[in-house]
Copies of this chain bind each other. A is one copy, B any other.
Amino acid sequence: MNIDIRMAHLFSTLNDDQVRQVMESSHVGTFKDGESLFETGDEANRFFLVIGGQIKLFRVSSNGDQKIIDIIQPGNTFAEALMFMEHPIYPVSAEALGPAKVISFDSRRFLQILSESFEVCFRIMGTMSQRLRGLIKEIDDLTLQSATTRLCAMLLRRMEEVGQNHFTLPAAKGVLAARLSMKPETFSRILQNLSTKKILKTKGNEIEVVDCDLLRSLAHLESIYGLEPEQPCVLNKELKIALK
């Protein structure tokens, strides 16, 4: 098997020798749907690169349901930030979403390489910086918005990603619901509501957005860059009516 780990941003500036060093400590793992990579609280001396499938990062609450923190796509690394902690411990659990393939690396070994290359250092700092930004956005979504808003924002993001007003949901509805911190029932009801209001059409996991503008308003998508975070968005009241 020949995988060039340089496809990952984190490794992209490594030279051949460094790649060899990193690979020495690497370990390829294949996981079935639902299989666990590690659990919250486990000692964290390895980090990961997804090369196939998806990996779900989540936390479990005391009442048993889980909040999905992130879904890692192929080509991306995760848990690499832990290597800078004294007693590294995974703050989340990870398991495969469908069959998945990952490579894991020894953190200590990679730290050695880091301590030889400023370029790699800066790269990892960049990655962490982006991740921080992502989490702040996440908190935003969770607190300042309703379930409907969150779902609409997700649909809109997906739509722009695909470039079509007709697309397939990127995962099972139950999984998406968890990702958006709501129950499957709620997820279902909101979709049905949007359907009734002629904002979109659904058929299984196929979504067709009909009233794109209204959807956008419902999501009131201020980006993370917060272009006009102030203006109180006059639409709010009208929208409440629009949704009966």
Cβ proximity bits A227-244 to B, threshold 8 Å, 1 near / 0 not: 101111100100000000
Does A115 count as interface, using CB distance less than 8 angstroms?
yes
What count of chain A residues pass the 8 Å CB interface test? 58
Query: Which of B69, B81, B231 is within 8 Å of A128, CB to CB?
Result: B81
Task: For A63, list chain B residues within 8 Å (CB).
Answer: 144, 232-233, 236
CA distance A229 to B40 in the complex (A): 7
Q: Is the CB of A236 within 8 A of B126?
A: no
Stretch of A98-106, A130-138, A166-174, A197-205 lying at the B interface: A130-138
Known: A121-B121, A230-B60. A139 touches B145 (CB 8 A): no
Number of copies of this kind of chain in the complex: 2
Known: A145-B61, A232-B64. A84 touches B41 (CB 8 A): no
Known: A62-B220, A128-B128, A140-B67. A91 touches B133 (CB 8 A): yes
Cβ proximity bits A47-71 to B, threshold 8 Å, 1 near / 0 not: 0000000000001111111010100
Query: Which of B140, B229, B236 is within 8 Å of A41, CB to CB?
Result: B229
By beta carbon, the residue of chain B nearest A57 is B136
Query: Which of B181, B226, B231 is within 8 Å of A59, CB to CB?
Result: B226
Q: How far in angstroms is the closest Cβ of chain B from A152?
A: 13
Query: Which of B40, B81, B226, B229 is within 8 Å of A129, CB to CB?
Result: B81
A59, A83, A122, A130, most chain B CB atoms within 10 A: A59
Task: For A181, list chain B residues within 8 Å (CB).
Answer: 143
Q: How far in angstroms is the closest Cβ of chain B from A46?
A: 15
